[in-house]
Amino acid sequence: MITAHELGHALGFCHKNPRAYHSLLAPNTVDMPSSGRPTKRDRKNYHALWG
Ligand SMILES: [Zn+2]
C-alpha cells in the first residue's frame, strides 16, 4: 500500500483529500485502500494525466 502510494507520487500525483474521494494518494494510511490497489478514481486520474 505504501509502495503504491509512493509510486503514485513518482508518477506525478499529489495527495488527495480523503473527504473528496477514496484514493491511494490519501495523506494518511488509515484513509488508503487496504488492498494497496488504485481505486476507480485513481485509475481515472492516471489516464487523465498519462493517457
Ligand atoms: Zn504521500
Concatenated DSSP letters of 1-51: -HHHHHHHHHTT-----TTT---TT-SSGGGS-TT-SPPHHHHHHHHHHH-
Question: What is the 6 CA–ligand 1 centroid distance (Å)?
Answer: 6
**Any idea where the domains of the chain sit in the sequence?**
2-50
Question: What is the 29 CA–ligand 1 centroid distance (Å)?
Answer: 9
Question: What is the 47 CA–ligand 1 centroid distance (Å)?
Answer: 19
Question: What is the 49 CA–ligand 1 centroid distance (Å)?
Answer: 18
Which pTM does this prediction carry?
0.90
User: Tens of pLDDT along 5-17?
Assistant: 999 999 999 999 9
Identify the pLDDT of residue 26.
98
Question: What is the 18 CA–ligand 1 centroid distance (Å)?
Answer: 12
Nearest-CA neighbor of 18 among 42, 2, 37? Answer: 42
Pair 48, 11: CB distance under 8 Å: no
